């Protein structure tokens, strides 16, 4: 009895055979067991049929010796199109050299001529089951082993040396260039990894959309050797952009490395990658001195403090002046969140803002900031800018509160401004555009903050109809010593003037920087050269 033959009744096959009599007999039997059959008399015809009907074909059966193009030549070309298609070769016993070659190019099964149909049907069902199982462990896009395969492999190993590689802000690439181009980037990136990390020394996995894991086959390999190889790979990726359909796409990566003999390497490598991203380090090796466990405890402490701080009024806005670059007169203030300890100590947002966002507590902070901004506007007649994230704009609950507060203070709303973070990932520009249009009904200006920090999109500025752009501090802080940064800031400023929106330079910390900003023609400036963030009472 043929096991699992029922699996064949819904499949479509491509059958290539040049002998008419054998082809006719075999085809008549296959018709009784399979849904549909494409028939070729030689390899060239078979290849064309596959190209035309790839989405339908589930399995290929082919002879080897055929005119025009033989079976093995056809298989090579088909494997370039779909490496995972199941293929069974029919060959005479005397053609053992062809059989070895067939196995080498990835043929699943073979059947000897004259064909035993019972054997062929068994091989067909086994081949499909094999590929069904194989697909569980292979990433369809890059054809690398996936997370399922990694888990299976880790079960058989307690000693591991590995590197976790993350493409930074990959979702932004999908937003700017489209998912099809994003897929092409991932395919080329995976090829680069395989080229750098030789298969005889390393196993490479794709474990998430933008994360790849490299595992050394020899645990005794020196961790520094892996670090040096990762460093070369990181430099190669950052120096050589990816070209997709004439688009030049720059990539940045972060890499975490861990070595452990107690089955904890994978856990450690995930933690050190997260730690490296927070510290803006391109590569880090895990070791206990990072006190990652302590940072987890610090996170828990801050989550509790944030929740209690919202209830107990520990969060206050401080306001940093933004001045007219030419006159140095204060034009407006940016509202900046601070946590006030019970003893009066002022804590900057670097200690808690990321934690608040990850713990889904940030909506409480934006509500506080708008309330504090309107307090300064109404009592001291000052213009105030408030940061708002895409996450805020995308949250119906948060926006309901924001619009409610604006409506209840509509007589003062024209003195409120919003700064949308360009460095954050915006997945729906329609929502942002709708937000800008709605608040502009109240004469509220909206700008883009941190412009230049991410994948800066000049087209976005025009389409969103913003009133101003704040140039990221990373482009300003060393502008007095970096000609490249000066050129970038000049470009942004010239672009802004042409399209009639204002520019703001942050991190202006010295007279030397201020003089260059003034010379370039940036409209407004902000930084410690003018003043630190001030409390409500200090204004």
CA 344 to chain centre: 41
Tell me the pLDDT band of 429, cut-offs 50, 70 and 90. confident
Q: What is the pLDDT of residue 54?
A: 84
Bridge partners, 386 (sequence order): 335, 418
Task: Quote the Cα angle for 484-488-492, to 5°.
Answer: 170
Least confident residue range of 349-353, 375-379, 440-444: 349-353
Residue 455's pLDDT is 46
Collapsing DSSP to helix, strand or coil, 327 comes out as coil
Q: Residue 46 has what pLDDT?
A: 95
Whether pLDDT at 424 is above 60:
no
Using the predicted structure, report yes or no on whether residue 91 has a pLDDT greater than 80. Answer: no
Enumerate domains of the chain plus CATH numbers. 5-135 (3.40.50.2300), 147-290 (3.30.70.270), 296-538 (3.20.20.450)
**What pLDDT is recorded for position 2?**
47
Dump pLDDT digits (tens) for 224-277: 999 999 999 999 998 888 887 777 888 889 999 999 888 888 988 988 898 888
Average pLDDT taken over every residue of the chain: 87
Whose tokens are 């010239």? That residue is 494
pLDDT at 110 over 80: no
363 contacts: CB under 8 Å, gap ≥ 6: 392, 395, 397, 398
- pLDDT reading at 208 higher than 70: yes
> Residue 497: is its pLDDT beyond 70?
yes
**Using CA atoms, how far apart are residues 342 and 398, in angstroms rounded to an integer?**
28
Say what the pLDDT of residue 413 is. 96
534: left (phi over 0), alpha (psi -120 to 50) or beta: beta
pLDDT of residue 263: 80
Q: Which pLDDT belongs to residue 415?
A: 98
Q: Whose CA is closest to 348, among 321, 315, 387?
A: 315
The confidence band for 210, taking pLDDT boundaries of 50, 70 and 90, is very high
SS3 readout for 197-250: CCCCCEEEEEEECCEEEEEECCCCCCHHHHHHHHHHHHHHHHHCCEEECCEEEC
Model confidence at 459, in pLDDT bands (50, 70, 90)? Answer: low
Q: Is the pLDDT of residue 329 over 70?
A: yes
Query: Which of 148-152, 180-184, 357-361, 384-388 is predicted with the least confidence, judged by mean pLDDT?
Result: 357-361
- Confidence grade of residue 435 (pLDDT, cut at 50, 70, 90): very high
**Would you state the pLDDT for residue 149?**
84
For the chain, the first-to-last Cα distance in angstroms comes to 90
76 or 382: which carries more pLDDT confidence? 382
* Cβ contact 62:87 at 8 Å: yes
Of 92-106, 131-145, 332-346, give the range with the top mean pLDDT: 332-346
pLDDT given at position 136 = 66
CA 358 to chain centre: 17
What tokens were used for 407?
A: 């409506």
> Which whole number is the average pLDDT over 1-9?
64
Give the β-pairing of 160-167 and 253-260.
antiparallel
Half-sphere exposure of 471 (CA within 13 A, CB side): 33
pTM attached to this predicted model: 0.52
Euclidean distance between CA atoms 146 and 129, whole angstroms: 19
Mean pLDDT of all residues in 370-393? 94
Which of 88, 89, 123 is closest to 2 using CA atoms? 123
Region 82-100 average pLDDT = 71
Sheet of strand 87-91: strand arrangement? 36-40, 12-16, 59-63, 87-91, 109-112
Q: Cα(37)–Cα(14) distance, rounded to whole angstroms?
A: 6
- For residue 536, is pLDDT > 80? yes
To which H or E segment does residue 495 belong?
A: helix 483-498
Number of CB atoms found within 10 A of residue 121's CB: 20
Q: With pLDDT > 70 as the criterion, what percentage of the chain qualifies?
A: 91
């Amino acid at each position: 009895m043929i096991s699992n033959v029922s699996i064949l009744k819904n499949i479509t096959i491509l059958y290539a055979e040049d002998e008419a009599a054998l082809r006719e007999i075999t085809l008549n039997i296959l018709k009784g067991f399979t849904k549909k059959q494409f028939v070729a008399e030689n390899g060239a015809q078979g290849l064309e049929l596959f190209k035309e009907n790839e989405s339908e074909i589930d399995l290929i059966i082919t002879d080897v010796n055929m005119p025009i193009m033989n079976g093995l030549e056809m298989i090579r070309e088909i494997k370039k199109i779909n490496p995972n298609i199941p293929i069974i070769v029919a060959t005479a016993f005397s053609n053992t050299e062809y059989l070895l070659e067939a196995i080498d190019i990835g043929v699943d099964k073979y059947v000897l001529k004259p064909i035993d149909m019972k054997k062929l049907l068994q091989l067909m069902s086994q081949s499909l089951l094999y590929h069904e199982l194989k697909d569980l462990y292979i990433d369809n896009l890059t054809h690398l082993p996936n997370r399922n395969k990694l888990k299976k492999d880790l079960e058989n190993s307690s000693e591991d040396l590995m590197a976790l590689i993350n493409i930074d802000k990959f979702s932004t690439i999908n937003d700017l260039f489209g998912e099809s181009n994003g897929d092409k980037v991932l395919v080329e990136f995976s090829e680069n990894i395989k080229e750098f990390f030789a298969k005889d020394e390393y196993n490479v996995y794709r474990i998430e959309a933008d994360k790849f894991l490299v595992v050394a086959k020899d645990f005794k390999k020196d961790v520094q050797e892996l670090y040096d190889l990762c460093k070369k790979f990181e430099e190669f990726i950052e120096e050589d952009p990816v070209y997709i359909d004439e688009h030049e796409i720059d990539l940045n990566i972060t890499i975490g490395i861990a070595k452990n003999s107690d089955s904890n390497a994978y856990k450690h490598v995930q933690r050190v990658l997260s730690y490296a991203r927070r510290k803006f380090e391109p590569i880090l090796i895990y070791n206990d001195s990072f006190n990652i466990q302590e940072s987890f405890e610090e996170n828990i402490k801050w989550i509790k403090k944030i929740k209690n701080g919202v209830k107990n009024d520990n969060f206050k806005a401080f306001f940093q002046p933004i001045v007219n670059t030419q006159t140095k007169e204060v034009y407006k203030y940016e509202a900046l969140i601070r946590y006030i300890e019970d003893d009066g100590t002022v804590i900057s947002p670097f200690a808690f803002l990321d934690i608040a966002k990850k713990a889904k507590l940030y909506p409480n902070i934006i509500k506080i900031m708008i309330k504090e901004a309107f307090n300064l506007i109404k009592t001291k007649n000052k213009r105030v800018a408030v940061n708002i994230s895409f996450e805020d704009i995308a949250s119906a609950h948060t926006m309901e509160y924001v619009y409610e507060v604006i409506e209840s203070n509509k007589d003062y709303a024209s003195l409120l401004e919003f700064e949308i973070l360009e460095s954050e990932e915006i997945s729906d520009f329609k929502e942002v555009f709708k937000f800008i249009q709605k608040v502009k009904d109240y004469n509220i200006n909206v700008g883009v903050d941190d412009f230049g920090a991410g994948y800066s999109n000049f087209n976005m500025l025009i389409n969103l109809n913003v009133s101003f752009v704040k140039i990221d501090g990373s482009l300003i802080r060393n502008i007095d010593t970096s000609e490249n940064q000066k050129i970038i800031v000049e470009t942004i400023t010239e672009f802004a003037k042409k399209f009639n929106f204002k520019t703001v330079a942050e991190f202006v910390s010295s007279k030397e920087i201020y003089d260059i900003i003034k010379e370039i023609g940036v409209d407004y400036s902000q930084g410690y050269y003018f003043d630190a963030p001030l409390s409500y009472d200090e204004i």
